[in-house]
Amino acid sequence: MIFAPDNLNPNHLRTFDAYYIMIQHGHMEVGTEKFPYTSKLIITMHGDRFSPYLPAFGNKVIAVRFGILDMHGIKREVTWTRLAFTAHIGDTEITLL
């Protein structure tokens, strides 16, 4: 499975919905080191703790068994941040530094 970017439209959005993704003896590619993925991709995993699961992997998972998962996007300058205050269970807002 290859997700190819839309190089003509930098705001292009692709969505992929699944309960799980199993890569077995296969290859899932979202961009490469030489050609990073330039579009936006949202992978949404559905289900809850009672959903069917893959033995040894669980549910709501991207599982790889004897396969390759390659995901390369455009370089991001900031890859993390810090919370200004502790986030508590049930909070609907957070403050970042």
Average pLDDT over residues 11-32: 92
CA 50/CA 74 separation, integer angstroms: 36
What is the model's pTM? 0.69
Average pLDDT over residues 87-97: 92
CA 37/CA 7 separation, integer angstroms: 9
Contacts for 80 with CB less than 8 Å, ≥ 6 apart? none
CA 68/CA 39 separation, integer angstroms: 21
**pLDDT recorded at residue 11:** 83
3-class state of residue 21 by DSSP = strand
